A and B are shown apart, each in its own frame.
Chain A
Amino acid sequence: MKRVGVLPGFGLTFGFTVLWLSALVLIPLSLLFFRAASLNLREFLDVVLDPRAVASYRVTLFCSLAAAIVNAIAGPIVAWTLIRVHFPGRKLLDAVVDLPFALPTAVSGIALTAVYAKNGILGSKLAAIGIPVAFTPLGIIVALTFIGLPFVVRTMQPAIEDLDPTVEEAASILGASKWQIFRRIIVPALLPSLLTGFALAFARALGEYGSVIFISGNMPLKTEVTALLIVTKLEQFDYAGATAIGAVQLAASFVLLFAINGLQWWSARRTEGTNA
């Protein structure tokens, strides 16, 4: 016997989802692999294992991870403040969080470079104490943190709003210290949304181009990100090389995001009550 679900239109909605993801994501991205396949294995490996390419993977991965971790620490604090602390101008500050979403990334990149360059407002002070920012991996991390911040803040806000203050009171009355309440009550409740925000910020950073290229200085082997290397190859009409590196980045990104999704699923299962 055919089982009929409660919700109508399963076939229709599922069909639409598959079609939509295919047209927008799967087909364009799989063409990347076809294009890359115009190289034979030897040529492919030469391109993707070129020291300059490998260095760019390392820079991209390291800086993206560092930026996502910084955001995973700073983002919750910003989100918490925006919800739990009432101060004048809160709404305004809340709107400021979205600016990295809205700004053309090249504009952000130029602005960040101006501020963090050796003669910039912050850059000069940091350079004076021996921490140059612009044209170093640290500069890339700053740019990636900038563009990743709204992802973490916006995914955490609903979860923080959802926290019931009486639950914290209950824990306190049972004798829990502030730290124990944070560690045993608040962190587990926010962990799933923190992981989501982290994954989004990380994914966004892996592919970021516009805001990075100005502040990084783009020194091959040192501060060159993979996205830039791909554009460089395209400018030299090396389409096969560009798609080969693109395919590597795509595969790596997919594996990483899939792993984070698995982690999210695991943490959501541990907090079974949160979806009810």
Chain B
Amino acid sequence: MSIEVRNISKSFGSFRALDNVSLHVEQGELVSLLGPSGSGKTTLLRIIAGLETPDPSQASAVIFDGENLTTLSAKDRGVGFVFQHYALFRHMSVFENIAFGLRVRPKATRPSDDVIKAKVMELLRLIQLENLAERFPSQLSGGQRQRVALARALAIEPRILLLDEPFGALDAKVRQGLRRWLRRLHSEITVTTVLVTHDQDEALEVSDRIVVMNHGKIEQMGTPEEVFHKPANEFVMDFLGQVNLFHARVEGQSRKLMVRPFDLDIVTTKSSDSAVPAKITRINAAGSAVKVELTSEAGDAILVEIPHDKHRGLNLKVGDAVFVSPRESKVFFEDYAI
């Protein structure tokens, strides 16, 4: 099921949450809406779900597979929705939570108890909680609750799956595990999925495509590689990871230069014209790369990431005077990505 969002705007009082946004999601794709809080990503998701109505306009539409659903209520859209804080029915067991969407169907389309039971058990196997069917949500961990919420959303065999910061309330370790699990699950059931997140690592890891949003507008759409390596503008570059900002003269013009920490190198002798003298202020060797913080002569903070073996070879210490140079020409100018 593909999703087409056309010319959607939404205002809350004087605040413009969405400003004429259009978006297309292909059948079976997992697309992330990524942006800081207040960027409009959750509002867009809620409009797709029918929980929020867009500002009235002739041009605006929400279309699933060619079917215009703009005026249809959430109840009749047949979407699965997972909330950040689970929104489980706490007076119902895990089993009844998952069965809810089937039990509330009108008599004519409601499956029999046996069919419901089989369906719920199948979903419990999928979320790996077969033996917790009779538990209540309060007896589950956060990660387990979110998996139940996902199973509940999948029980109605939704046309599309919408996830609103699904891992936002969980701790880092659980979040990572669930991310990978979600990715695997998505390749198994291939339901068109839109995921809202403010965590760039999460978006980069799970998505087929990423939609970067800011101030109610889409800044860039593309694969994780595209938005990470070819950011369309300064905002996207900055939001998708740490960057160092330099002011440089290029072809006689003053330009802003943005470089990722791992695209910088530390050398002990001035190797080229582009090497900048700097003093080491902090070294953090914990993690997959060594993070070296420096201060340039102009007083700007610079962050460089170098591999561990390189760090050992250089024998760097806090207070050392060194030079920072771009490793490759993978830098971002104010108006063009190289």
Q: How far is the CB of B12 from chain A (nearest CB, A)?
A: 15
Give the contact stretch, choosing among A33-41, A258-266, A267-275. Answer: A267-275
Closest chain A residue to B105, Cβ basis: A175
Q: Is A167 a contact of B89 with CB atoms below 8 Å?
A: yes
Q: Is B101 a contact of A174 with CB atoms below 8 Å?
A: yes
The verdict on A236 contacting chain B, using a C-beta distance below 8 Å, is no
- Docked Cα-Cα span, A180 to B101, in Å, equals 11
B125-137: contact bitstring with A at CB < 8 Å (1 yes, 0 no)? 0000000000011
With A166-B85, A273-B91 in contact, do A177 and B137 touch (Cβ < 8 Å)? Answer: no
The verdict on A170 contacting chain B, using a C-beta distance below 8 Å, is yes
- Docked Cα-Cα span, A180 to B91, in Å, equals 15
- Docked Cα-Cα span, A166 to B153, in Å, equals 14
The verdict on A203 contacting chain B, using a C-beta distance below 8 Å, is no
- Docked Cα-Cα span, A273 to B91, in Å, equals 6
Partner of A173, one of B51, B89, B91, B105: B51
Give the contact stretch, choosing among B63-71, B73-81, B182-190, B283-291. Answer: B73-81
With A271-B91, A272-B138 in contact, do A173 and B75 touch (Cβ < 8 Å)? Answer: yes
Q: Is A188 a contact of B91 with CB atoms below 8 Å?
A: yes
Q: Is B79 a contact of A177 with CB atoms below 8 Å?
A: no
Residues on the A chain within 8 Å of B104, using CB: 171, 174-177, 180, 184
Q: Is A172 a contact of B75 with CB atoms below 8 Å?
A: yes
Q: How far is the CB of A24 from chain B (nearest CB, A)?
A: 35
With A176-B75, A273-B138, A276-B138 in contact, do A170 and B87 touch (Cβ < 8 Å)? Answer: yes
* Contact residues on B (Cβ < 8 Å of other chain), bracket: 20 to 34
- Docked Cα-Cα span, A10 to B68, in Å, equals 65
- Docked Cα-Cα span, A69 to B295, in Å, equals 74
Q: Is A166 a contact of B74 with CB atoms below 8 Å?
A: no
Partner of B91, one of A171, A177, A274: A274
* Contact residues on A (Cβ < 8 Å of other chain), bracket: 20 to 34
Residues on the A chain within 8 Å of B75, using CB: 172-173, 175-177
B85-98: contact bitstring with A at CB < 8 Å (1 yes, 0 no)? 10111110000000
Q: How far is the CB of A81 from chain B (nearest CB, A)?
A: 23
The verdict on B156 contacting chain A, using a C-beta distance below 8 Å, is yes
What is the total of A-B residue contacts with beta carbons within 8 Å? 82
Q: Is A171 a contact of B49 with CB atoms below 8 Å?
A: no
With A174-B152, A175-B156 in contact, do A271 and B101 touch (Cβ < 8 Å)? Answer: no
- Docked Cα-Cα span, A164 to B89, in Å, equals 10
- Docked Cα-Cα span, A175 to B80, in Å, equals 10
Residues on the B chain within 8 Å of A177, using CB: 75, 104
The verdict on B262 contacting chain A, using a C-beta distance below 8 Å, is no
The verdict on A185 contacting chain B, using a C-beta distance below 8 Å, is yes
Residues on the A chain within 8 Å of B49, using CB: 173
Q: Is A271 a contact of B90 with CB atoms below 8 Å?
A: yes
With A166-B85, A276-B138 in contact, do A174 and B91 touch (Cβ < 8 Å)? Answer: no
A236-272: contact bitstring with B at CB < 8 Å (1 yes, 0 no)? 0000000000000000000000000000000000111
Partner of A164, one of B80, B87, B101, B152: B87
Which residues A137-187 have CB closer than 8 A to chain B?
164, 166-167, 169-177, 180, 184-185
Partner of B156, one of A174, A180, A275: A174
Q: How far is the CB of B159 from chain A (nearest CB, A)?
A: 12
Q: Is A166 a contact of B156 with CB atoms below 8 Å?
A: no
The verdict on A65 contacting chain B, using a C-beta distance below 8 Å, is no
The verdict on B83 contacting chain A, using a C-beta distance below 8 Å, is yes
The verdict on A79 contacting chain B, using a C-beta distance below 8 Å, is no
With A170-B81, A171-B89, A175-B156 in contact, do A273 and B100 touch (Cβ < 8 Å)? Answer: no
Residues on the B chain within 8 Å of A170, using CB: 81, 83, 87-89, 149, 152
- Docked Cα-Cα span, A171 to B90, in Å, equals 12
Q: Is B85 a contact of A174 with CB atoms below 8 Å?
A: no
The verdict on A189 contacting chain B, using a C-beta distance below 8 Å, is yes
- Docked Cα-Cα span, A166 to B105, in Å, equals 20
- Docked Cα-Cα span, A172 to B77, in Å, equals 10
Further contacts, 19 of them, CB under 8 A, given A173-B153, A176-B104: A166-B85, A169-B87, A170-B89, A170-B149, A171-B89, A172-B73, A172-B75, A173-B81, A174-B152, A175-B78, A175-B105, A189-B90, A189-B91, A271-B91, A272-B91, A273-B90, A273-B91, A275-B138, A276-B139
Closest 6 CB pairs of A and B: A273-B90, A276-B138, A174-B101, A271-B91, A273-B138, A170-B87
Binding site for B on A (CB under 8 A): 164, 166-167, 169-177, 180, 184-185, 188-189, 270-276
Binding site for A on B (CB under 8 A): 49-51, 73-81, 83, 85, 87-91, 100-101, 104-105, 136-139, 149, 152-153, 155-156
- 11 example contacts (A-B, Cβ-Cβ < 8 A) are as follows A166-B83, A166-B87, A169-B74, A170-B81, A170-B87, A173-B51, A174-B100, A174-B152, A175-B76, A175-B105, A273-B137
